[in-house]
Structure 1
């Protein structure tokens, strides 16, 4: 929301008042409280008939300081509120000091200084090494809409909207990233961004996952502690500022400092929650029935048998919506005509070895024609209107209601419904939707919550309930979701996928940008609909998307009205460049990468950083180019991937400083610099970072779950003595560390089983794949 018409005028229809000075500073238990009148006080009479803003600045933990601006403190601070420091608040030392430059509050490595006699609040590294951002002249204020013509009118705010806004400074060359899974430009500078969950696909400014955290290339991040709608003007109202505004009487946000972007994300994930680990089987290939396609037990079996016959291992099979009858979503009951004995069928699938696990689709909407609606409505498990009626509409499912997760009894009922699915052999849940949550004429069971704040926060409650039900049934670190909606903190309940994308190269690029952005919000795991959700992908798009999708942390074949098994895409072309062989090769490659991926995943969880897609700026923050790269990504610390978006197979990508070795050819390139290549469908630019020890599973492994220590290929890439790689088994137990010695050999190889091999200059390569790669620069 913009409050100004250019620099000199107030926007039409608004009244805006700014904090003009810091009148007084009071020490509090955790920091400082600033009294800020909206005009300069030159005499006692100036203190009358004006508004004031209170700015409470508190040290929260090392490197984290909160700033809360309040107009009228009597406003009830309704929930829901983000669950902060869920693992406990770290201990630290905070101090307040006075000096010639002003009053300074220090929270470990971060300091904020308030300059006397003016309005200037500066955030700096505590050691003085770096200035981060500031609140300066006319950067904190309140606004009314419409503008009252008489102060007496503000005694009744029913006809007015009231806003609080703050503006942090942007330095020359500063860029802003994150704010959730956004599909537009990676650098948000110049954009107006509204944080409001919506089912808008991947080609608009709407987002399924709005995360109120952004990361600056200057070494800090800002988390907005407001569960409801947040509006940002990122250099789009004042080019030199990021403006944050909310409707209400208070606005609270946190400045988070770190010497590296990874340290910022570590502290952010300490504040909002670290992602949980997911089991090794979830990294394998997932196959879906697709959305509106027609299927039954015979169709499912034909898909899985066809994949096996074509040497493509499927670890998870997913039943999308129509496992339930039409008009009855979600009632948790299999369509008896198509699946007369689901428990037996699922049991047969697993016993046959065609899949390891089974997933089903659900959502929090309960259609009135299903078996679940009557009980849920009668017992008060559904959201109600203010007059006591069940809130319903016909958008999506006829007469659907919405599960009220603020009602403990509704949560218990919903979990019991899930347990019946688990009893039938379901291992994972796709938690679709959760974005279309009403805010008007609704009354939640918990009357202390604000319906406007519940809109985004509903995604947290919904996924939390399902995740904890899975965890209760299958044990710690064994729960797996496939969620579409999210808000800050939802990274604790992995994993998430990118929503409804079209089957086009542009949509694939949109998805890459979405995954990069979400990863900057503490989300370790992310997936995408391989081939695109909407439409019928041409063979070349399907194959390029397969390569991209199998390099995401998690990989699922899913479409809307068309299947995604490869033989339906190109009339079962079995040639080396056909869809079938392409999918088989990339699935096999990901399975071989599991010793590397599973270890990197554990490190990503600990650090609150993405496994894949990992933005280049997290690994190379000192390289200015890395902050603008939105068509490539890192997979863990050591692998760089650049998807191909052109039918010709040509691709341009950037390599940061250092030596980089092609995974497919062992050719070495030296960065920094831009490069161009042309690839067949069995490869893309996949480069290994200098000084990497890359552990690959044995050739010919089937699926993502196997003995990661047996017959390992240890690949050394321009290593120096001490280069290391940790090895974790498929159950998550750390086996030890492989380390490069001074003679080019490896230490501690006793943790390896069978017949391990060491490749000292890259890895053993496939000459056939090498021939399909051409360097253009």
Structure 2
């Protein structure tokens, strides 16, 4: 939302009042917070203190290297929930210091400081490293304010605020060359400078400025990140109102955000996920291939069996079979009952399929909506489990399902009831759940069971509580570390309930690229696990697009074949081409490659969740923050810390990608390329650019491996790639217990590995 018309004028219809000076500074007794009283004009006489708004700015040391900034106009305004659950694993101690000098007052948290200038009649707050080496960002003149829309002409008008919108806004400075990343799974340009972004979950596909996963966190290439502690709609102008500032605004009387000092991206993400929650561990079987029925396709027991047998006949290892929406009866979504016409005995069928070895686990699609045609709607409505309108009616509309209602997860009894419905699915043999939707949550004319929450704050936050309820139900049944979701909607903290997938993309190379940008952006917001609809969701991919998407999708942390109105089994895409360049052969090769990578991949995953890093589709800048070119790369990614992947986005097989400094070894043929440099290659469908970083140690399964879980001390090989004194790899088992720590040791003029003695091929 723009509040100004260029630099000089206020936008038509708006009135803005800015903090013009710091009138007084009060220090909290615990020495961790300072409070600034900031009038909206410079106070030069006693009369200037009258008839004038003031803004309160609180700077607090939250934990080492994190300071919070809260701006408030009227303190008497209710601060309704929901609020983000910060420090879910416990709040660390903070080394807070407040110091006063002639230049100003400085509050420090660990290595991060904010200095409030003591210059008279000035509003000037500078954020910097404690040693002064790194200058991060600032709040300068006309950078903190309140705004009215429509504009008021007299303070008397604010006696009735029912028709007046009140905003709080801040504008932090952007330095020369500064770039901004993150803000959720966004599908446009990776660098957000120049974009106007609204953080408001929406079911808008992957080809617009709407997003399923709006995360109020952004990361700067200058060594800091910002977490906006606001569950409501947040509007950002990232260098798009004033080119040298990031403007953040909310509708209300207060705005709070945290600045997080890294200085590296990895350190920033580690601290950010300490604040909002670390991603949880996922089971090894979930890393294997998932196959879906697709959305509106016609399928039954016989169809499922034919797909599974077809995959086995083509030697394509499959871990999970997913039943999408139409496992339910039409108009009965989501009532948790298999369609008796298509699946007369689902428990027996699932039991047989698992026993046959055709698949390992079962996933089914669910959402938090109840169509009124189903008996469970009446049950939920009668027990007050559904969201209501302000007049007491159940909130209903005909969007998606006829007369559908929305589960009210602010009602603890509704959560228990919903969990009991899920438990009936677990009894049948369902192991995982695709938690679809959760974005279209109304914010007008609604009344939640918990009257302490504000409807506009529940819109984004609903994704958090919905996925939390389902995830905890899975944990309760299968164990803490066996739970895994396939979730679409998210907000800050939802990374604790993995995993998330990229939503409804088209079956095109362009959609494949925009999906990658979405995954890269989400990974820069503390989400370790991410997947995508291999082949694209909307439309029917041709063989070229399908195979290139298979390559990309099997090198994501999680991999699922899924579509809308067409199947995604490979033999139906290319008329069962049995050549080595056919769809089945490509899917087989890359599925087996992922299985082979499991000792490396899983160990990297355990390190990633410890710090809140993305496992795959890891932005190049996370690994190479000193390389300016790495910050610009949006068509390639790192898989863990050692493997570089460049998907092919062209039917010709031509691809151009960037290799940072060092020696890079092709995974396929051992060819070595010295970076930094841009490289052009042409690939058939059985390869893509996959390079190993200099200094890497990889523990790999045997070629043709079909398992995701086995004893990783056996049937493995240890490979080194130009090892050096920093080369090290910690191999863990599926319980995250250390199997080996492998390091490189120099002997004479050669390097050998140490610590791999217990590993046998």
- Which shows bigger deviation, 197-206 or 701-710? 701-710
Match of 2:45 in 1: 43
* Correspondence 1:752 to 2:759: yes
CA contact (8 A) 1:245 1:251 kept: yes
**1:457-485: per-residue Cα shift (whole Å, max 9, x none)?**
00000000000000111111110000000
Matching residue of 1:61: 63
Q: How many angstroms does 1:52 deviate by?
A: 0.4
Name the CA distance, whole Å, in 2 between partners of 1:487 and 1:351.
38
SS at match of 1:605: helix
Measured in 2, the distance between the counterparts of 1:611 and 1:686 equals 16
The 8 Å contact of residues 98 and 105 in structure 2, kept in 1 or not, is answered as: yes
For residues 230 and 591 of structure 2, the distance between their equivalents in structure 1, rounded to whole angstroms, comes to 41
**TM (normalized to structure 1)?**
0.96
Work out whether residues 213 and 521 of structure 1, in 8 Å CA contact, stay in contact via their aligned partners in 2: yes
1:704 positional shift: 1.3
In 2: Cα distance, 1:377 partner to 1:588 partner: 48
Deviation at 1:702, TM superposition (A): 1.4
What is the aligned partner in structure 2 of residue 675 from structure 1? 679
Answering whether residue 288 of structure 2 is matched by residue 284 of structure 1, we say yes
Matches within 5 A, 1:615-694: 615-694=619-698
Write the distance in 1 (CA, Å) between the matches of 2:418 and 2:12: 48
Q: Distance in 1 between matches of 2:218 and 2:707?
A: 37
Give the Å deviation of 1:734. 1.9
User: In the aligned structure 2, how far is the partner of 1:748 from the partner of 1:220?
Assistant: 37
Determine whether 1:382 maps to 2:386. Answer: yes
CA distance, structure 2, for counterparts of residue 721 and residue 106 of structure 1: 36
Could you report, residue by residue, the CA deviation over 1:623-668 in whole angstroms, capped at 9, with x for unpaired residues? 1111111000000000000000000000000001111111111111
- For the residue of structure 2 that corresponds to 1:256, the secondary structure is strand
Give yes or no for contact 2:730–2:741 (8 Å, CA) kept in 1: yes
> Which residue of the partner structure matches residue 27 of structure 2?
27
Find the partner of 1:720 among 710, 724, 728.
724
Deviation, 1:709, is 1.8
Work out the CA distance in 2 between the residues paired with 1:66 and 1:92: 13
1:237 alignment partner, one of 234, 241, 259: 241
Long gaps (5+) in structure 2: none
Tell me the CA shift for residue 578 of structure 1.
0.5
Report the Cα distance in structure 2 between the residues aligned to 1:638 and 1:191, rounded to whole angstroms: 32
2:192 is matched with which residue: 188, 193, 197? 188
Aligned match of 1:494? 498
Q: Partners in 2 of 1:125 and 1:657 — Cα distance?
A: 28
Establish whether residue 741 from structure 1 lines up as the match of residue 748 from structure 2. no
Residue 129 of structure 1 corresponds to which residue in structure 2?
Answer: 133
Residue matched to 2:470: 466
- Contact 2:718 2:756 (8 Å CA) reproduced: no
Matches of 1:145 and 1:729 in 2, distance apart?
A: 58
Moved more, 370-379 or 716-725: 716-725
Quick check: 1:530–1:557 contact (8 Å CA) kept in 2?
Answer: yes
Structure 1 residue 752, shift from structure 2 partner: 1.2
Structure 1 unaligned regions, length at least 5: 757-777
With 370-379 and 8-17 compared, the bigger mean Cα shift is at 370-379
Match of 1:605 among 603, 609, 620: 609
Residue 722 of structure 1: how far off its partner (Å): 5.5
What's the counterpart of residue 3 of structure 2? Answer: 3
* Conserved? CA contact 1:497–1:527, under 8 Å: yes
1:414 aligns with 2:418: yes
Aligned residue in 2 for 1:400 = 404
Q: Distance in 2 between matches of 1:651 and 1:700?
A: 26
Range with bigger deviation, 165-174 or 334-343: 334-343
Which residue in the other structure is 1:326 paired with? Answer: 330
Q: What SS does the corresponding residue of 1:627 show, helix, strand or coil?
A: helix
Decide whether the 8 Å contact of 1:221 with 1:255 is kept in 2: yes
CA deviation profile, 1:305-331 (whole Å, cap 9, x unmatched): 000000101100000000000000000
* Paired position in structure 2 for 1:774: none
* Aligned-partner Cα distance in 2 for 1:234–1:71: 24
1:448 Cα deviation from its structure 2 partner: 0.3
Q: Deviations over 1:656-681 (max 9, x none)?
A: 11111111111111111111000010
For 2:297 and 2:282, how far apart are their aligned partners in 1?
Answer: 29
Cα RMSD, aligned residues only: 0.8
> Any idea what SS the aligned residue of 1:158 has?
coil
C-alpha distance after superposition, 1:207-234 (max 9, x if no partner) = 0000000000000000000001000000
CA distance in 2, matches of 1:665, 1:393: 57
Specify whether residues 250 and 622 from structure 1 end up closer, same or farther in structure 2 by C-alpha distance, changes over 3 A only.
Answer: same
The separation in 2 between residues aligned to 1:418 and 1:215, in whole angstroms, is 37
Secondary structure of the 1:542 match is helix
Task: State yes or no: 1:212 paired with 2:216.
Answer: yes
Partners of 1:746 and 1:136 in 2: how far apart? 54
Report how far residue 721 of structure 1 moved. 4.4
Deviation at 1:129, TM superposition (A): 1.3
Alpha-carbon distance between aligned partners in 2 of 1:534 and 1:171, rounded to the nearest angstrom: 41
Task: Judge conservation of contact 2:222–2:263 (CA < 8 Å) in 1.
Answer: no
Whether contact under 8 Å (1:314, 1:703) holds in the other structure is: no
